[in-house]
Structure 1
Amino acid sequence: MKSIPHIDMSLYGQDFDAFAQHVGEGYETNGFVALTKHGIDQQLIDNALDISRELFALPEAVKKQYHIPGGGGARGYTPFGTEIAKDAKHVDLKEFWHVGREIDGEPPFPQLTPNVWPQELPEFKAKILKLYDALDALGLRVLEALAVYLKQPRDFFNDKVNLGNSILRPLHYPPIIDEGTPSVRAGAHEDINVLTLLVGSREPGLEVLAKDGSWIPVTIIEGAIICNVGDMLQRLTNGVLPSTTHRVVNPPAPYSHKSRYSIPFFLHFNPDVMITPLESCISEENPQRFEPISSHDYLMERLREIGLVK
């Protein structure tokens, strides 16, 4: 793997079966793909990145007003130096803000808690929710392709993610002052969720672990959205679709002296979905590797491992 495969999303409406094959093979081989011609307006992405820069430029004392102690970082602000990759010795060099699904009326699941919005930036809500909705819809198109690839009905995932506690995470990696720090911007990890879609980050740093044990820098064409398999989808597919280890390394100067901004969207199953390996992914060569577990129980188990839930 020299870089991750690029998937032309315009095939979705032109030749869906070919699209499903491309997506499935890309994920089965790498766990990571880059989505091109995805239909999300670049201006919408730029607006969200620009307002995120303004958010993280707010004074520390202002941002910390939006931190919810004991909330596991589910909504609002999580300060610099809080999150740590599973089994890592040093915290990640980042701060972030979590935006969840907006629900009208009584939420169907207690996990769908109200969002926290910074009063200092009245435009933040509208700009961020537009990106949330666009990435939520794009993720569902990718899941339609994967459903067909996995020999399930095309709409297999629709009622399993429509009320998922999916999270949009504006993310800031500040400039690295101490070049000798043992910490990295994001330690080697796998994502917990179903799919992750990533916008932003034109600076170098993101690397994917190849099957031969080497680290591959992710180089993508301008405007592409990186999309990778998370652990929940790996469990559902009995390991057929791998959740690939990745990291954000500290880049060389001059990049290390600047902030890095990105906005991942973590697409989740509805909290009550039982993640049970699909029969189409179980065989003599690949016997069942995972026990059934509800998506909420699995999420809580993993959040404890990375220090967001005590």
Structure 2
Amino acid sequence: MTTTQLTTLPILDLSRTLESEEERAAFRDEMRRVTHEIGFFYLTGHGIDQDFINEFIEVSREFFALPEERKLRLENTYNPHFRGYTRVGGELTQGQVDWREQLDIGPERPALDRTVFTEDFWALQGPNMWPEELPRLRELSERWIAVQTELSQRLLSEWAASLGEVEDYFADSFDDLSAPLLKIARYPGMPGENSQQGVGAHKDLGVLTLLYIEDGKTGLQVDYEGEWIDAPPVTGAFVVNIGEML
């Protein structure tokens, strides 16, 4: 595959793994090749209900529509576990301001005893902050984390098998203390001709990212062999991005 041949991300259909063994093997071969050569792909056939996806987008919109002073009550500077709200312009990527606002949510767990769990990364575990006026956000976010965790485990099983390992090869690495992160982001844009980055070019540090792009929203690009490829939304599909750990 050459740069000139790749103009859009490939689409992989996970439902093929539920068909014949031959079809499942073909899916694994394709996923392994795409992962090695590109590192990004659209995932369809994942089984997550579109009505649920739409409902989650709706409640996310309701959160961002709250008055700013109410959102700032949840600002992550108040949370020792780095959860919560980040205001527009509150982060930098490669020294430039990211023009987005976001809400970071993790598994709802108690904080750990740091005299026992002494490594710094254990500070990331703890309770989230939730908007009192929008209880549905917590309900749907916790459900979203659960279904995405299940989907991620399915993908890791297929990756393991595609590499000649047993399907549960990665299981011990993702036990009850693993830490999935849900990031709900809004990119408001700016009037005028000044170019602003929603979020600058970067690599994801974790194992994998499942990104859902709302229909009609553009801007995501993938760097492939030094060329930027547009990755517009595909209805019902997730963009899968392997992280540096994987």
For the criterion TM > 0.5, the same-fold answer is: yes
On the 8 A contact 1:34/1:220 being kept in 2, the answer is no
- Is 1:216 the counterpart of 2:216? The answer is no
Q: Which has the higher helix share?
A: 2
Task: Please tell me the residue identity of whatever aligns with 2:209.
Answer: T
**Cα-to-partner distance string for 1:203-231 (whole Å, 9 max, x where unaligned):** 111111111x2111014532111111111
Indicate the percent of aligned positions where both proteins have the same amino acid: 33
Q: Secondary structure at the match of 2:200?
A: strand
Task: Please tell me the residue identity of whatever aligns with 1:152.
Answer: E
- Is 1:25 the counterpart of 2:33? The answer is yes
Task: Please tell me the residue identity of whatever aligns with 1:171.
Answer: A
Partner of 2:134: 121
Quote the offset at 1:105 in angstroms: 9.4
CA distance in structure 1 between the aligned counterparts of 2:105 and 2:95, rounded to whole angstroms: 28
Partner of 2:193: 179
Partner of 2:107: 101
Match of 2:69 among 29, 38, 61: 61
CA distance in structure 2 between the aligned counterparts of 1:218 and 1:72, rounded to whole angstroms: 35
Task: Please tell me the residue identity of whatever aligns with 1:223.
Answer: G
CA distance in structure 2 between the aligned counterparts of 1:90 and 1:70, rounded to whole angstroms: 24
Q: Secondary structure at the match of 1:232?
A: coil
Count residues with an aligned counterpart: 229
- TM norm structure 1: 0.69
CA distance in structure 2 between the aligned counterparts of 1:7 and 1:68, rounded to whole angstroms: 36
Partner of 1:137: 150
Partner of 1:301: none
Matches within 5 A, 1:1-310: 1-14=6-19, 15=21, 16-69=24-77, 71=79, 74-85=82-93, 88-103=94-109, 109-162=122-175, 163-181=177-195, 183-202=196-215, 203-211=217-225, 213-233=226-246
Task: Please tell me the residue identity of whatever aligns with 2:8.
Answer: S
53-62 or 217-226: which moved more?
A: 217-226
Partner of 2:3: none
Quote the offset at 1:72 in angstroms: 7.5
Change (3 A) 1:72 1:195: farther
Task: Please tell me the residue identity of whatever aligns with 2:58.
Answer: D
Change (3 A) 1:73 1:110: closer
On the 8 A contact 2:81/2:126 being kept in 1, the answer is no
- TM norm structure 2: 0.86
On the 8 A contact 2:40/2:241 being kept in 1, the answer is yes
CA distance in structure 1 between the aligned counterparts of 2:79 and 2:95, rounded to whole angstroms: 23
CA distance in structure 2 between the aligned counterparts of 1:110 and 1:180, rounded to whole angstroms: 39
Runs (5+) with no aligned partner, structure 2 = 1-5
Quote the offset at 1:176 in angstroms: 1.4
Quote the offset at 1:12 in angstroms: 2.0
On the 8 A contact 1:97/1:169 being kept in 2, the answer is yes
CA distance in structure 1 between the aligned counterparts of 2:130 and 2:33, rounded to whole angstroms: 40
Superposed CA RMSD in Å reads 2.1
